Amino acid sequence: MEATSVRDVMQWLVERARTPLVVMASLLGFAELLHGHSLSDAVYRSPSIEARIHLAEHLGGDDAAPVDIEVRNTSDVPCDVEIALSDDLAQSFEQVAMIPEPSPGSPFSVRLERVLPGEERLVALELQGAEPGPHAGRVEITASPGDGLSIPIRTFVTH
């Protein structure tokens, strides 16, 4: 008899909790969509470099889009690394700020000199002022001629 009453109580609890849990999960998912959801931490590799890019997939119209590009030298020798944001993506935003400062003559490109074996460096960008809608482009990372990565990136700006 006790097992039946425990089972009845459990069934009653599940029935009463199901609706609030579904509503809460839906609201959390919607809030994440509104406040930006970061791209997965996929790792991109070439023979001598490894890279990760962090960018919100969804942005509000007035929000800045921070982009973090982490690059690591996986080779046994120091190398210079060039990181460039594609013109089509950069030009779809009113402002593009980069740290470190862009290379002279290349407003959307940064050169990291003498990245030591195993060393990781960060390039931080902030994109702001895009029209609502999808925006896509690429990040080109070159360690030496013939050794580089071309990583597609995208974000969606809401009004």
| pLDDT per residue as tens digits for the range 25-59 | 444 444 444 444 444 568 999 999 999 999 888 77
Its pTM stands at 0.71
CB distance 24 to 17 below 8 Å: no
The pLDDT of residue 3: 56
Which amino acid, one-letter code, is at 61? G
Whether residue 13 lies inside any domain: the answer is no
CATH of the domain at 99: 2.60.40.10
Whether residue 110 lies inside any domain: the answer is yes
Domain count, the chain: 1
Residue 135: exposure state from Cβ atoms within 10 A (0-12, 13-18, ≥19):
buried
Stretch 122-141: mean pLDDT, rounded? 89
